[in-house]
Chains A and B, each alone.
Chain A
Amino acid sequence: QKEVEQNSGPLSVPEGAIASLNCTYSDRVSQSFFWYRQYSGKSPELIMSIYSNGDKEDGRFTAQLNKASQYVSLLIRDSQPSDSATYLCAGVAGGTSYGKLTFGQGTILTVHP
């Protein structure tokens, strides 16, 4: 199993719908999780971080972490065409240094009008 694995995508949703992006992880990567958004040809930018079990909401974005199932997700409500991008899930390995992230392969999201 890869340390961080994202649902394969690409994902296409209509404008206004909820986009659901999912990520599973191995035992080694289990401390904290991050969602980055990357527009085509650009660098990633952090949109959500989650450190404990449960939900974390920030505007239209909700991150969910379930450590028992080793599962982390990102929900985007009221999706907009400007949300079209690649979304990268990343985790920090337990006991290692901060910022040494392991990334999933990314999920391409397209929001069509």
Chain B
Amino acid sequence: DGGITQSPKYLFRKEGQNVTLSCEQNLNHDAMYWYRQDPGQGLRLIYYSQIVNDFQKGDIAEGYSVSREKKESFPLTVTSAQKNPTAFYLCASSIRESGELFFGEGSRLTVL
């Protein structure tokens, strides 16, 4: 079945450590996105990518980095520079010229 796979689902990190969240899709979608959700809030865009080897900053990119070496994969690194990284991270994808997003199950990051 086609879909988006995020891993890990739960992750604990000590302050000062970088962590990488995986996102893989087999929907053959061109565009991929990373959103962050804090309790009781909507989603905020971190990074997005429309094609391989290209990506753009979203509204809250500081402290995060991404790569898009393959169409299927869009990993997100939460660096030690991110001041408040505890959140629910959602990866999504869409076909070209569509605003309809398909989401992965999310990764919940907690900084100890």
Chain A residues proximal to chain B, CB less than 8 Å: 4, 31-32, 34, 36, 42-46, 49, 88, 90, 92, 97-106
Distance A106 CA – B35 CA, assembled complex (angstroms): 15
* Contact present for A44 and B99 (CB under 8 Å): no
Distance A104 CA – B40 CA, assembled complex (angstroms): 11
A85 to B: closest C-beta gap in Å: 14
* Contact present for A32 and B99 (CB under 8 Å): yes
Given A44-B90, A88-B42, A106-B42, do A101 and B101 touch, yes or no (CB 8 Å)? yes
Given A44-B90, A99-B94, do A105 and B99 touch, yes or no (CB 8 Å)? no
Question: For the complex, is B61 an interface residue (Cβ under 8 Å from A)?
Answer: no
Given A88-B42, A105-B41, A106-B41, do A98 and B96 touch, yes or no (CB 8 Å)? yes
Q: Mark B79-99, 1 if CB is under 8 A from A, else 0.
A: 000000000001010101111
B41 to A, closest residue via Cβ: A105
- Which residues 21-36 in B have Cβ within 8 Å of A in the complex? 31, 33, 35
Q: Name which of A34, A42, A92, A100 has the most chain B CB atoms within 10 A of its CB.
A: A100
A4 to B, closest residue via Cβ: B42
Across the interface, A99 reaches (CB within 8 A) one of B31, B90, B105, namely B31
A103 to B, closest residue via Cβ: B42
Distance A100 CA – B98 CA, assembled complex (angstroms): 10
A43 to B, closest residue via Cβ: B103
Across the interface, A98 reaches (CB within 8 A) one of B41, B43, B44, B99, namely B99
* Contact present for B105 and A42 (CB under 8 Å): yes
* Contact present for A99 and B103 (CB under 8 Å): no
Distance A106 CA – B43 CA, assembled complex (angstroms): 9
Q: List 15 A-B contacts (CB under 8 A).
A: A4-B42, A31-B99, A32-B99, A43-B104, A44-B103, A45-B103, A49-B99, A49-B100, A88-B43, A97-B50, A98-B97, A99-B100, A103-B44, A104-B42, A105-B40
